[in-house]
Amino acid sequence: MIGPIRIMVVDDHPIFRSGLLLTLSGRDEFVVCGEAEDADGAVHGVMEHQPDLVLLDLSIPGGGREALARILSLRPEQKVLIVTASEDDDDLISTLGTGAAGYALKGLGIEALSDTIHAVMRGEIYAPPGLAGRIVAGLASATPPPGPSASGLDQLTNREIAILRHLSEGACNKTIARAISLEEKTVKNHMTRIMAKLKVRNRVEAALLFHSQGGTKVPAVQQRSR
């Protein structure tokens, strides 16, 4: 996108909110266009300021999940990055399922947060590797993996399987590109095709499906090379 990213911050802790506003305002690539401390303020602020991105805490009065659902019902194209202290599996699954563009834990340094914001604005779905990995591990142990054809994994090429393996381990596009000697843009194009073949909405769902359906056990020789 052209110009700085316009951001609205929604958090009910004044010290954290003020610190985040100050930090973001000090960087040329961001412009803070609004703030709120509760669900009603978040919804009203989004409709008034129409930010490029909302940083939304889950523990706000009125409920962060509820605010997310209300915002997306009124402005479906709005990008919302959850920034929270909650490491609850249900919060991650629920908010991404509702349509959040990502889920970040409080405590991220400004450089890591900046990278996450830019990734989300590029259309990537972000989730903390450790938290996503824990959910994946739980699914993998609780669900007996069916044959690969049940999940559509047999439609993937060798290269797509390799990319999906790295993704399921928490790697971003840049890391995957370095690992398999491809351009980052090429990896992104592969991810688009992978999600279409698996009929999933985002990268997190693709990684969860890969593990829960026994993707790590799919022999590469069964896949079509490309």
The domains of the chain, with CATH numbers, are: 5-126 (3.40.50.2300), 133-222 (1.10.10.10)
- Residue 226 pLDDT class (50, 70, 90 cuts): very low
Distance CA 81, CA 53 (A): 7
Q: pTM to 2 decimals?
A: 0.67
Distance CA 82, CA 108 (A): 12
Sign (positive/negative) of CA torsion 50, 53, 59, 63?
A: positive
Mean pLDDT value across the chain: 83
Distance CA 26, CA 22 (A): 6
- Nearest in space to 204 (alpha carbons), one of 136, 158, 143: 136
**Mean pLDDT throughout 153-164?**
89
Residue 192 contacts by C-beta under 8 Å, 6 or more apart in sequence? none
pLDDT tens, position by position, 103-148: 999 988 899 999 999 989 988 878 876 666 555 555 445 444 444 4
pLDDT at 28 over 70: yes
Least confident of 53-57, 118-122, 130-134, 218-222: 218-222
Q: Element (H or E) spanning 118, and its range?
A: helix 110-121
pLDDT tens, position by position, 167-182: 877 677 888 899 999 9
pLDDT at 220 over 70: no
